[in-house]
Amino acid sequence: MENQTEERELTREELEQKKEEMYQFYTESLKYLKAQCEYEETLAKIEEARFKRTSIQMQYAMMAAQQEDAMAGATSPEELREEIQAEQKRKLRRD
């Protein structure tokens, strides 16, 4: 047996009925779509906040590492003072 679909023209009443069924379907589905939209927007806000927080943490870690590197080079305040004075003398001699 062959599967054949009969294609016939719908009457005006049938067409109106189909339109009404489609309208009801979309109207009933709208509340679910709105809920999904709100859910997706909330997820996006959460991801954006996580990204910002992580970026700030990375910047803070980089700044802390730079400070540690700078502090590691100077073992005592006296040595740091001597280095600054030696640098100033070199600048004075160049002028």
pLDDT at residue number 76:
72
As a whole number of angstroms, the distance between CA 19 and CA 21 comes to 5
Ranges of the chain whose pLDDT falls below 70: 1-6, 72-75, 91-95
As a whole number of angstroms, the distance between CA 28 and CA 21 comes to 11
As a whole number of angstroms, the distance between CA 53 and CA 61 comes to 12
Domain boundary assignment for the chain? 12-94
Give me the amino acid identity at 59: Q
Task: Name the token pair of 70.
Answer: 């700078």
